[in-house]
């Protein structure tokens, strides 16, 4: 007798699928994006992805075979390189939540582009299988995605958020924007740059 899953019809699963698909689309269409716009959108979609994943109902695999994967090494590498080009010198950050840290007294350098590509790979594999519409494989891809979130990409997501937050709000970035605004005003008596409007 065929095993059926009711979990996949849960409202929280539907909402997660929607956000997951949006995340994948955003990553796939990011090439050539302005860094500030990319960081802004990432800072909005990543917390939403984390929230929707954490609200998923408990799901266990019911099939005998692992669902197929979609993201090839080439797809992964192209995406990682595109993201790295957008982020440029803001791509790397120091990570203190790496398991290797216990063997080192130095923080380990990580890359936002690599973390996002890792998250994308898991989410895209899930979305690909889910869209095939087969109950058992939909269930199992959800269970695998949920497990990988707990063990693997959930931590990457929050680490990446911290690095993206720093890239957006670090003093250097703010000063660059302000210095452009100040140069617009030639009048020595003008005090417009003293106020934040």
- Give residue-wise pLDDT tens across range 49-92: 999 999 999 999 999 999 999 999 999 999 999 999 999 999 99
Q: How many CB atoms lie under 10 A from the CB of residue 83?
A: 24
Tokens of 17: 């699928």
pLDDT higher at 12 or 193: 12
6/24 Cα distance (integer angstroms): 25
CATH of 8-171, one of 3.40.630.40, 1.20.120.1550, 3.40.720.10, 1.10.8.640: 1.20.120.1550
pLDDT of res. 100 = 60
pTM for the full model? 0.83
C-alpha dist (Å) from residue 28 to 13, 33, 159: 22, 11, 21
For the chain, the domains span 8-171
List pLDDT tens digits, range 126-183. Answer: 999 999 999 999 999 999 999 999 999 999 999 999 999 999 998 654 444 443 444 4
Burial degree of 135 (CB within 10 A; 0-12, 13-18, 19+):
middle
pLDDT of res. 69 = 94
Lowest mean pLDDT among 30-39, 74-83, 93-102, 108-117: 93-102
């Amino acid at each position: 007798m065929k095993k059926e899953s009711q979990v996949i019809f849960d409202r929280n699963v539907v909402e997660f699928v929607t956000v997951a698909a949006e995340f994948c689309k955003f990553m796939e269409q990011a090439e050539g994006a302005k860094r500030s716009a990319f960081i802004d959108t990432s800072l909005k979609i990543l917390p939403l992805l984390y929230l929707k994943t954490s609200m998923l109902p408990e799901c266990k695999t019911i099939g005998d075979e692992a669902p197929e994967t979609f993201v090839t090494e080439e797809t992964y590498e192209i995406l990682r390189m595109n993201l790295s080009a957008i982020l440029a010198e803001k791509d790397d950050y120091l990570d203190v939540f790496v398991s290797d840290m216990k063997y080192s007294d130095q923080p380990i350098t990580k890359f936002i582009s690599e973390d996002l590509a890792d998250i994308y790979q898991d989410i895209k594999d899930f979305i690909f299988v889910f869209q095939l519409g087969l109950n058992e494989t939909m269930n199992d891809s959800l269970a695998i995605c949920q497990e990988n979130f707990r063990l693997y990409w959930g931590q990457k997501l929050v680490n990446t958020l911290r690095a993206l937050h720093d890239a957006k709000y670090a003093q250097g970035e703010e000063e660059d924007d302000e210095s452009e605004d100040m140069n617009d005003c030639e009048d020595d008596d003008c005090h417009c740059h003293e106020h934040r409007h």
